[in-house]
Amino acid sequence: MFVDQVRIFVKAGQGGDGVSSFRREKYVPHGGPDGGDGGNGGSVVMVASRRLTTLLDLRYQQQYQAKAGGSGQGSNKHGRTAPDIIIQVPIGTVIVDDETGDLLADLTREEQSCIVAHGGRGGRGNARFATSTNRVPTRFEPGTPGEERWLRLELKLLADVGLVGFPNAGKSTLIAAVSSAHPKIADYPFTTLTPNLGVVPWGNDRSFVVADIPGLIEGAHEGKGLGLQFLRHIERTSFLLHLVDISEWASEDPVTSFEVLRKELASYDASLKAKPFAVVGTKLDIKGDERRLEQLRAYCKKRRLRFFAISSATREGLETLVSFVGKQVDSMRVPCATTS
């Protein structure tokens, strides 16, 4: 089951109390203070792991509480520091404080971590308060409480290229044709109910990651269909492919379909409209009299939009499309590599 949103409760451990204690020692007033410090409470830490692809585990276990630190003892014995709780999440997980809405972390790299609830600090024992004028201190400190909060976790897939289009536009067929992914393919709408990732090889030992986003419909940004649920997964992509059905059996006008698709993306997040993209006419093998194909081609040419016509079934046009997209992705990666 693909789960990309969960709400969990985390609570760090309380710090252990310091202690007031005195030792027995000859010629030392009252033996001298020897109360130890309390140990720190355990923190709750989230770590990004490539082994996970969903937040499913956190749906079934929604509460995490670290242990408290040990109390101090006499003879200057300090309390034990409690171990941290480690919660592994998929790479691409966004962590938000559910009450304040503050962004706590965006885990985009393997082993990247974030302390989401800090453990309480252990209190000081009375040995810490001994001075030249106060050789018999009785003061000690209790441990401080650990942080606790409700968190909202959202998974945003990390992919170079996002495939977007209306139901039955051919997204699943395309990703199956150019990668080793095996999404469900059928001739009815909303076949894909979860995003799919595929690694597309191209050139000499190069590749890019493509994400198949479940079909949108008009009004998706308002929550209609599946669009609003999965649109977040294209926020991280660097390049978009807009797939438009140009087959003779398509019920919608191709130009209208493309314009509605662009409107839905902009309505959800204006920054998506600024992402570089190309238009892909799909199902070229059943184009019929080519009227729909030429209509969309002329529209793109007039507006200087990159246009490709493909057939995932016969693989016509796929090599050209993959080579173009690979070069686009590579050109976008160079500035990032130089900066780091």
pTM recorded for the entire structure: 0.71
CATH number, domain at 46?
A: 2.70.210.12
Average pLDDT, the chain: 85
Q: Do 172 and 269 reside in the same domain of the chain?
A: yes
More confident residue, 168 or 88: 88
The SS3 of residue 60 is helix
Of 155, 181, 215, which one is at a domain's C-terminal end? Answer: 155
- The number of CA neighbours under 13 Å toward the Cβ of 219 is 3
Statement: residue 79 has pLDDT above 80: yes
CATH number, domain at 187?
A: 3.40.50.300
Question: Taking phi first (over 0 means left), then psi (-120 to 50 degrees means alpha), and beta for anything else, what does residue 50 get?
Answer: alpha
Confidence of residue 337 (pLDDT cuts 50, 70, 90): very low
Confidence of residue 221 (pLDDT cuts 50, 70, 90): very low
Q: Do 227 and 173 reside in the same domain of the chain?
A: yes
Instruction: Please tell me the least confidently modeled range out of 82-91, 99-108, 109-118, 247-256.
Output: 247-256
DSSP state letters, 102-165: -EEEEE-STT-EEEEEPPPPPPPPGGGG--SS-SS-----PPPPPPEEEEEEEE----SEEEEE
Q: Do 257 and 234 reside in the same domain of the chain?
A: yes
**Strand pairing report for 103-107 and 85-90:** unpaired
Q: Do 209 and 113 reside in the same domain of the chain?
A: no
- Residue 235's domain comprises 161-339
Statement: residue 95 has pLDDT above 90: yes
Q: Do 320 and 172 reside in the same domain of the chain?
A: yes
How many DSSP H helices and E strands does the chain contain?
7, 14
Hey, what amino acid is at 296? L
Statement: residue 220 has pLDDT above 50: no
Q: Do 172 and 227 reside in the same domain of the chain?
A: yes
Q: Do 314 and 165 reside in the same domain of the chain?
A: yes
Interior CA angle at 286 toward 291 and 278, to 5°?
A: 70
**Using an 8 Å Cβ cutoff, are 74 and 34 in contact?**
yes
Q: Do 39 and 187 reside in the same domain of the chain?
A: no
Q: Which residue has the tokens 């441990």?
A: 143
Distance CA 141, CA 99 (A): 31
CA dihedral 295, 218, 195, 50 (to 10 degrees): 110
Residues 4-33 as b/e (b if ≥16 CB within 10 A, e otherwise) read: bebebebbbbbbbbbbbbbeeeeeeeeeeb
Instruction: Name the strand (E) or helix (H) holding 335.
Output: helix 318-339
Statement: residue 31 has pLDDT above 80: no
What is the strand order of the sheet 307-309 is part of?
A: 196-202, 206-212, 161-165, 239-245, 277-282, 307-309
DSSP state letters, 258-317: HHHHHHHHHHH-HHHHTS-EEEEEE-GGG-TTSHHHHHHHHHHHHTT--EEE-BTTTTBT
Q: Which residue has the tokens 């972390």?
A: 105
Confidence of residue 51 (pLDDT cuts 50, 70, 90): confident
The SS3 of residue 167 is coil
The total number of structural domains that make up the chain: 2
Confidence of residue 229 (pLDDT cuts 50, 70, 90): low
Q: Do 91 and 200 reside in the same domain of the chain?
A: no
Of 139, 155, 171, which one is at a domain's C-terminal end? Answer: 155
Of 112, 129, 155, which one is at a domain's C-terminal end? Answer: 155
Distance CA 118, CA 95 (A): 15
Rounded percentage of the chain residues whose pLDDT exceeds 70: 87
Q: How does pLDDT run across 97-133, given as a tens digit for each residue?
A: 999 999 999 999 999 999 999 999 999 999 999 888 8
Q: How does pLDDT run across 296-324, given as a tens digit for each residue?
A: 999 999 999 999 999 999 999 999 999 99
More confident residue, 327 or 268: 327
Residue among 117, 125, 122 at smallest CA distance from 15: 122
Instruction: Please tell me the least confidently modeled range out of 54-63, 224-233, 254-263, 270-279.
Output: 224-233
Q: Do 170 and 281 reside in the same domain of the chain?
A: yes
Q: Do 245 and 276 reside in the same domain of the chain?
A: yes
Q: Do 53 and 136 reside in the same domain of the chain?
A: yes
Q: How does pLDDT run across 124-183, given as a tens digit for each residue?
A: 999 999 888 888 898 999 999 999 999 999 988 778 898 988 887 888 889 889 887 665
